[in-house]
Chain A
C-alpha cells in the first residue's frame, strides 16, 4: 500500500513546515517584521565577522599597544564624517610600493640625479647615502582644515635562509615636499635588516631646519610640543600658533642598503632572495568605518567581533536558562510531593538573590585571583544561568500542574507509557510555545549583563560591545567628545536587544490569544 507511506511525515519536513508557518505568522506583525530584519542583519554580520576576523583576534585586541593597532591613527573619527563636511584629514595607506628609482650609488652627486629633493632639503650638508639606494614617492592631498597625526614607515623583510640579515644595514631618510615648496626631512633611521622597526616623524630631525626656514623665534624644546602640527601647518605668531597648510604633499622615502657589497645586494633584490616590503602611512584624523580608539584600535573590527559573541552567548545562556527552568518546573509540577517542595524552596532562594551584585562579586574575585584558569566569561555566564531559571520554573510548574490532570495524560498512563514518555511526549510539547517566547525574551539578558559588568571594569577578556563601551568609559571617551566610541556599541547592544524584545512581544501575542487584537 504505497499511499500509507505518508502516514508519518519526515520530522525535518515537519520542523521546516512549522518553522515556516511561525515565520509567516511573525511577519504579520510590524514588530515581528522589524525584529526579524534586525536579527537577519545580526546573523549576516556574525557570519561576515567569523569569515574575516582571525581566530586570535581577542588576544590581538587585548594587546592594544602592539601592531597592528600602533600603526593606526589614534582617536580618529570615522572616515565617512568627511562627507558630512566635518574637517578630518584622511588616513592614506600606501602599501605594496615599488621603488621609483633603484641603483647603486657610489658617487656623492648621483643622489641629486635620482632624488633632487634630497639636495633641496639638505644640500650637501649631510653624509649622502651610498650603496644600493631605492627611492619611493607617494602623494597625499590635505583637503580639509586639519592636521595629520603622523607619517609612518613600516618595513617587512623577507629573505631566503642563506642571507645574513644582520650584516645588511638599512639607512632610512624621509622627506616631505610641502605645497609651499619647502622640502623637510621629517625622519631618519638606521638599523640592520634583522631588526627593522617602524619610523615615525621625528621632531629632533626636522625642527632645526623648520625654525631656520621660517625664521621662528622658538627653542627646540618648544618645538617639541608642536612638531606634529608644524609639519603640516604654517606658523603664525612666530611659531607659537599654526594653521593647517592645505594642498598636495609628497612623501619621499630614500632607503640605502650598505654593509656588504652593493652589487651583491642588487643581485639579491634582483633574484628575489631578499625582499623588503615598504608601507607608507599618512595618519589623518579619520580612519576606517567607525574610527579608532585612544590606542588606535579600529573600532569597526572591535564592534564586528561583538556580533557572533552576542548571538552565541545570548542564545547559549537563554537556552540553558530556559531548559533548566522548563525541566525543573515540569518535574516539580508533575511529580509533586517532596521533589516539588525541594525545587520550590530552591526557586524561592534563587529568585531573591541579588544577581548583579553577585556577578560583580564573582567578576572582581576572578580578576583578583583567577579561578583556576577558568575563562571569566564562562563563569559569569554560568552564574547567570544558575540564578535565572527560577521565573521560568514557576510558570512551567503551574502549566505542568494543569496539563498533568488532562485526560490525555491519564490516557497515556493507561496505555502503560513511561513517565519520561509522558513528560517528553505529552507535557513538554504543550509548553513549547510559551518556552519559545521566554527564550526569545531572555536572549539579550546575558549580553546586557556582560556589558554592564564590563563597564564596571570587570574584564572577561573578549572584545564585545560591552568591552568597547567599557574602554570608552574608562578612558574618558565621553570627555573627548568621541561619540564614535560610545554610540555604535551602545546602539548595537540596544538594536540587538530590541530585535528580541520585538520578537518576544510578537511571539507572546501569537501564543497568548487574549492579547491578540480582535
Chain B
C-alpha cells in the first residue's frame, strides 16, 4: 500500500521581517523553521509529530496545508495521493503537478487544481477560540467549505452540516446550528472545527494540537470523536502534539522533531520503549507520572540548556549543545561537531538521526 502523503526534504525558511531600510541596506536572514524534513503518512494511519514548541511541527503542518507563502518553501516537496477522480481532474488542467502518475506535488498546484487538492486535506487548529469566526453562526462556519467548493444544493448542504454535527456529537444539530461561538464551550468549539473539516470528507486530516488548549477533563471528548471518525470514515490523521504520552495513546507511528528536523521516527511502542535519540529520551522522561508518590521524586531529565534560536542553528549536530549523551560519549564527539547526522534506518522502521546509534550499528 502506497503512502497517502510523502514529504521529502521539505524546507520552510521565513525571512526575518525587518524595516524597509534593512531590506535596502542589509542582507536577509531567515528563521529556518522547517529545515529538511522527510516522512510519510500511510493510508488510514495516525501519524504523530512530536516536539517542543518552536520546533517547527506546526509550520510543517501549515506547509502541507499550503498555508505558508510559496516563496518561503525553500526546498523539498510534499506529494499527496488524492482520489482517482481528483487526480484525473488535476492531470487534465495541470499535468506538470502530477508525479509518478499517482501523486500530486502540492507546491506546483495553482488555481483550481489547488482547490481540488485542498478538498482532500483538512486541518483542525490548536486554538478553539481563535479558529472559528466569532461573527458566524455554527451553521455558517460548518457550511462554508461546501459553499467555497460549490457542493450540494441548499437542502443538501443542510443535510451534510447536520450529519457532520452529529458525527462530532453536537446533538441535536438543529439546536447547535443557530448558535454563535461565544455560546459554546471550548470543547464544543473544537468539535465545530472538526465538523467543518469533515464536511468535505477529506482523506487526510491534520490536527495541530487540537486538545492542548482544552481543559484536561474535556480532551477525551475531542480525542474520542477523532478516533471514531478515523474508524468510520477511513481517514488518515496527522496529529501534532508536544505530549509524547498522548501521542502514544492515539498514534500508529511517531516522529520526534527538534529545531526544524526529525530526529527519530518509529512505531509508537518502539519509540516509547526503545528510544534511541537522547532528545526522545528526554521527552519521555519529562512526562509526569500519574502515580502521585512518584511525582514527588525529582526525576532526572537528561537534557541541558535552552533551545537555540532557529536563526543561528548550531553547526554539526544541532542537538549537540544540549546533549547529555555527547558529554558521556567522547568517542563520538568528533562526528557530532563535524557533521549533521542524517535520518538513518537503524532497525526496520526505526529511523534515528544521532551519531551514537548510527556509529554503533555500523
Contacts and interface: CB of A to CB of B under 8 A. Distances in A.
Nearest to A410: B67
B59 to A, nearest CB: 12
A20 to B, nearest CB: 17
A421 B178 contact: no
Contact of B178 (A6, A408, A414): A6
B152 to A, nearest CB: 14
B144 A407 contact: no
A408 B139 contact: no
Given A413-B67, A416-B145, A407 B174 contact: no
A400 to B, nearest CB: 15
B132 A408 contact: yes
B72 to A, nearest CB: 13
B281 to A, nearest CB: 33
A479 interface: no
A416 B149 contact: yes
Interface residues of A, number: 25
Nearest to B161: A7
A417 interface: yes
Interface string B284-309: 00000000000000000000000000
A7 B149 contact: no
A108 to B, nearest CB: 93
B118 A416 contact: yes
A92 B20 CA distance: 76
A249 B149 CA distance: 87
Contacts of A429: 133, 135
21 contacts: A4-B158, A4-B174, A6-B178, A8-B140, A9-B178, A407-B126, A407-B127, A407-B130, A408-B132, A408-B134, A410-B62, A411-B125, A412-B133, A414-B122, A414-B123, A415-B148, A415-B200, A416-B118, A416-B149, A429-B135, A430-B135
A417 B123 contact: no
A408 B158 contact: no
Interface in A72-106: none
Counting chain B CB atoms within 10 Å of each CB, the highest count among A9, A414, A418 belongs to A414
B119 interface: yes
B177 interface: yes
A10 interface: no
B148 A408 contact: no
Nearest to A5: B158
Given A408-B130, A411-B132, A4 B162 contact: yes
Contact of A414 (B67, B127, B162, B177): B67
Interface-central residue, A406, A412, A430, by most chain B CB under 10 Å: A412
Contacts of A169: none
A414 B127 CA distance: 15
Contact of B118 (A7, A408, A410, A414): A414
Interface in B250-293: none
Contact of A406 (B115, B130, B145): B130
Interface in B12-49: 20
B139 A8 contact: yes
Most chain B Cβ neighbours within 10 Å, of A4, A6, A418, A429: A4
B174 A6 contact: yes
Contacts of B134: 408
B65 interface: yes
A324 B134 CA distance: 25
Interface of B: 20, 62, 65, 67, 114-115, 118-119, 122-123, 125-127, 130-135, 137, 139-140, 144-145, 148-149, 158, 161-162, 174, 177-178, 193, 196, 200
Contact of B123 (A9, A408, A411, A418): A411
A426 B134 CA distance: 10
Contacts of A8: 137, 139-140
B125 A7 contact: no
Nearest to B173: A4
A3 interface: yes
B124 to A, nearest CB: 9
Nearest to A3: B174
Classify the interface of chain A: helix, strand, loop or mixed: helix
B196 A411 contact: yes
A8 B79 CA distance: 39
Contact of A415 (B137, B139, B144): B144
A276 to B, nearest CB: 70
Contacts of B200: 415
A182 to B, nearest CB: 83
A502 B157 CA distance: 45
B144 A412 contact: yes
Contacts of B67: 410, 413-414
Contact of B122 (A3, A406, A415): A415
Nearest to B65: A414
A7 B177 contact: yes
Contacts of B149: 415-416
Contacts of B125: 407, 410-411
B118 to A, nearest CB: 4
Given A341-B20, A414-B123, A416-B115, 12 more contacts: A6-B174, A6-B178, A7-B178, A8-B140, A407-B126, A410-B131, A412-B144, A415-B118, A415-B145, A415-B149, A426-B133, A429-B135
Contacts of A430: 135
A214 to B, nearest CB: 85
A408 B162 contact: no
A425 B140 CA distance: 11
A9 B122 CA distance: 28
Contacts of B126: 407
A407 B133 CA distance: 9
Interface in A386-424: 406-408, 410-418, 421
Contacts of B122: 414-415
A489 B114 CA distance: 61
A417 B118 CA distance: 10
A226 B158 CA distance: 89
Contacts of A1: 174
A408 B127 CA distance: 9
A69 to B, nearest CB: 55
Interface string A165-184: 00000000000000000000
A7 B144 contact: no
A418 B148 contact: yes
Contact of A407 (B118, B131, B177): B131
Contacts of B127: 407
B132 A421 contact: no
A425 B137 CA distance: 13
Contacts of A4: 158, 162, 174, 177
Nearest to B206: A414
Contacts of B132: 408, 411
A415 B146 CA distance: 9
Contact of B131 (A6, A7, A411): A411
A406 B193 CA distance: 14
A337 B177 CA distance: 39
Contacts of B177: 4, 7
Given A4-B158, A7-B174, A411-B125, A417 B135 contact: no
Given A3-B174, A7-B139, A8-B140, A416 B148 contact: yes
Max chain B C-beta neighbours (<10 A), residue from A7, A412, A418: A7
B362 to A, nearest CB: 43
B235 to A, nearest CB: 15
B145 to A, nearest CB: 4
Contacts of A418: 148
B156 to A, nearest CB: 12
A491 B66 CA distance: 60
A430 to B, nearest CB: 7
Interface in A1-49: 1, 3-4, 6-9
A267 to B, nearest CB: 78
A343 to B, nearest CB: 14
A421 B115 CA distance: 14
A406 B128 CA distance: 12
